[in-house]
Structure 1
């Protein structure tokens, strides 16, 4: 009698533990959907706060093919301040005398910052005046953080960059 009672207790304990484990286990599809939802919320928040970093992986100049970039290049936006360290490939129509830095290596204030939601994600536009050069930046950002940056300058050919939008690293 004692062995039957003991076996019943072990059986019910095993069944309850198994049911609890299967209820907590989520499918890969559910886990991926949760991650995507979290990423969408993060992207929306950092764009609203105007506090994000664009890390380009490819540059696409007007006159040539795609150029792979390493991860040392970035464009940081914090409020109205733009800290750009991006390369330039293409034709320059006017260069400042003695200029040794890249055309897009600067820290300036953004003018006319606009963020709009569209059917595929977000569009962020702003302009920067650097000396005699007016530079227009247009981001097309997916809800998952992939972004294309189109840069149009009055003194240079247009260039595009492809990469990701991220939250800034804590210092």
Structure 2
């Protein structure tokens, strides 16, 4: 129950932050291109900031991203928050995984926003990823995990290129 409330509050606060933002989309994608990339399931969510459940928006460098294709998801995102179990390998602190066995559900909302739910079946830690994409290419990603507090990311949708990871 607490996890659901935390995710809902995170979604609401990020939606308010995103809708009040006056920054322009610097992703190089036009409004319709961002929607087309999402519908083709060939895009990169480039994280620009992280909001742990404890609060405090923190900016990120541009290398953190979630790459989505029709058959693979590559997640390379940092983690900040409370972990209920410590990993044996300190390199496993962040969210760094590939998934080829996942559920992907896309729902169009009336305001042009696209809500995407990704459930990786071959990852023990990440339970669900909720990506909300606005028509102008801004996006918010909420990640729910088994042994860690949920975390939210704000970013943009950009096109995939062959020379990236």
Same fold (TM over 0.5): yes
RMSD value, Cα: 1.8
Q: 1:57 aligns with which of 48, 60, 70?
A: 48
1:77-116 correspondence runs (5 A): 77-116=68-107
Contact 1:148-1:160 within 8 A present in 2 as well? yes
Any conservation in 2 of the 1:125–1:138 contact (CA below 8 Å)? yes
Q: Which runs of 5+ in 1 are unaligned?
A: 1-37
8 Å CA contact retained: 1:110, 1:126: no
Consecutive unaligned residues of structure 2, counting only runs of 5 or more, are: 1-28
Matches within 5 A, 1:21-32: none
Q: Is the 8 A contact 1:86 1:102 kept in 2?
A: no
Mapped contact 1:60–1:159 kept (Cα < 8 A): yes
Secondary structure of the corresponding residue to residue 125 of structure 1: strand
Structure with more contact order per residue of length (Cα contacts < 8 Å, sep ≥ 6):
2
Question: Is 1:143 the equivalent of 2:127?
Answer: no
* Residue matched to 2:36: 45
Number of equivalences = 134
Q: Highest CA radius of gyration, 1 or 2?
A: 1
Aligned to 2:18: none
Q: Which residue of 1 aligns with 2:160?
A: 168
- Per residue, is there more strand in 1 or in 2? 1
Contact 1:59–1:68 (8 Å) recurs in 2? yes
Q: 1: distance between equivalents of 2:47 and 2:36?
A: 20
